[in-house]
Amino acid sequence: MEEKKHVRRPHYSGTHPRRFEEKYKELNPNQYPETVKKVISKGSTPAGMHISIAVKEILEVLDIKEGENGLDCTLGYGGHTRQMLKKLNGTGHLTSLDVDSENIKRTEAMLRAEGYTEDRLSIMHINFQNLDEAAKAHGKFDFVLADLGVSSMQIDEPERGFSWKHEGPLDLRLDQNSGEPASERLKELDWDELAGMLMENADEPYAEEIAKAVTGAIRKKQPVETTTQLAEIIRKVVEHEAMNQDMKRAEIDEAVKKSCTRTFQALRIDINHEYEVLYNMLNKLPEVLNDGARVAILTFHSGEDRIVKKEFKFFKKEGWVSEIADDVIRPSKEECFTNPRARSAKLRWMKK
């Protein structure tokens, strides 16, 4: 029998890892619970993990009862799915969807290993705009959750290109087996088209300046192929604009951070057609619900929330649903401290 070769963990200089690949403890959270606990206590999300947001509030809204049939539109790392299965307590059925071909394999393997079998949990590799396909396969639903946020694991993995903080290809696709990466999409846009995208998808105050700089670099054959190359263009634009506004260094750094975040968000929304997908899902939603069904939708930026709010009001006006949320529900201050990615979350609900 061939002896298994020992592979040493990556080494790094200094007292703390800087590169994503060096975070050997956080990338294996089950093996290092104390490290994970320490990272979370400081208000950060450990690499290789996703902390589910607004779990308590979502479960209160959905009011899940044993024996019901439910749908989780966004499986992700399985956090919300797992909590809903616990409420079902070995009865009923839950269907979970995910468009991310890599993430769905990892999460399904984990949930199956925990004992959640096909008779209680079905996992489908489809976009949630096709939730009618899930209803055809498993029947209409008594409760539905759609968490529209990107998984922390997707953000943290450099090769996915979701974060400007890590060097990686400028990709941003939720499903890397389809569509075109952001680096190719940028080559197709004129500056005014890109500026419009940045304003519509992210309310970026420096939209025109960033758009002109990015399209200008591409026109001059300068590379805009990686996350850090794009982030560097944004940094130069914001710093130049800040000089005319007499901003302090700390204010400039914060402005750069926010513009990078908004620009990457706007690109991600465009690449994955997120607004169109959301509209399509909402249009089909009333038809896949049983009478009395509860729906919870968790959004993470104003564009998504406006769409959900408008459609819920339309459903109520048309008499398709009996109740809708009067206002958004936000995660608690305590949760926002321990998980900063919860700060922008807004929860809306409706009942058929």
pLDDT higher than threshold 50 for residue 56: yes
Contact call for residues 123 and 115 (beta carbons, < 8 A) = no
Q: Are 330 and 347 in contact (CB under 8 A)?
A: yes
Structure tokens of 343? 């700060």
Identify the band that residue 162 occupies on the pLDDT scale cut at 50, 70 and 90: low
Q: What is the pLDDT of residue 25?
A: 46
Mean pLDDT of 27-36: 54
Beta strands in the chain (DSSP E): 69-72, 93-97, 121-124, 141-147, 289-299, 323-324, 346-351
The residue written with tokens 């079902």 in the block is 88
Q: Would you state the pLDDT for residue 286?
A: 94
pLDDT mean over 107-118 = 91
More confident residue, 50 or 135: 135
Q: What is the mean pLDDT of the chain?
A: 83
Contact yes or no for 151/50 (Cβ under 8 A): yes
The whole-number pLDDT of residue 178 equals 76
Nearest to 74 by CA among 319, 261, 289, 281: 281
At 230 the pLDDT is: 92
Looking at residue 79, what is its pLDDT?
Answer: 87
What is the residue type of 143? F
Q: What are all long-range contacts of 113-117, with beta carbons under 8 Å and residues at least 24 apart?
A: 114/82, 116/82, 116/85
Please state, in angstroms and rounded to a whole number, the distance separating the CA atoms of residues 124 and 115: 18
Compute the distance between CA of residue 193 and CA of residue 205 in angstroms, rounded to an integer: 15
- The tens digit of pLDDT for each residue in 256-272 reads 999 998 998 899 999 88
Q: How far apart are CA 6 and CA 115, in angstroms?
A: 31
pLDDT tens figures, 272-319: 898 999 999 999 999 999 999 999 999 988 888 999 999 999 999 999
3-state secondary structure of 129: helix
Where do we find the tokens 């249009």?
Answer: 283
Mean pLDDT of 121-128: 93
- Encode pLDDT of 212-252 as tens digits: 999 999 999 888 899 889 999 999 999 888 877 777 888 88
Domains of the chain: 55-152+275-351 (3.40.50.150), 175-271 (1.10.150)
Place of tokens 């109740």: 323
Residues 312-352 pLDDT 10s: 999 999 999 999 998 999 988 888 888 777 888 899 999 99
DSSP structure string for 139-190: --EEEEEEE-SPPHHHHH-GGG---TTS--BS---SSTTSS--HHHHHHT--
Assess whether pLDDT exceeds 80 at residue 38: no
Q: What is the DSSP letter of 5?
A: P
pLDDT value at 81 more than 60:
yes
pLDDT confidence of residue 43: 46
Tell me, what's the pLDDT at 199?
Answer: 92
Query: Has residue 165 got a pLDDT over 90?
Result: no
Q: Give the mean pLDDT of 154-168.
A: 66
Lowest mean pLDDT among 9-13, 84-88, 272-276: 9-13
Give this prediction's pTM: 0.79
**pLDDT value at position 129?**
93
Length of the chain in terms of residues written: 352
Instruction: With CA atoms as reference, report the closest residue to 170 among 45, 271, 300, 21.
Output: 271
Q: In this predicted structure, what is the pLDDT of residue 14?
A: 52
Through-space distance between the first and last CA atoms of the chain, rounded to whole angstroms: 62
pLDDT at 31: 57
Question: How high is the pLDDT of residue 24?
Answer: 44
Mean local confidence (pLDDT), 4-23 = 51
Cα 265 to Cα 175: distance, rounded to the nearest angstrom: 16
Beta carbons of 39 and 46 less than 8 angstroms apart: yes
Give every CB contact of residue 63 below 8 A, 6+ residues apart in sequence: 143, 294
Residue 152 predicted with pLDDT over 70: no
Residue 151: predicted pLDDT: 59
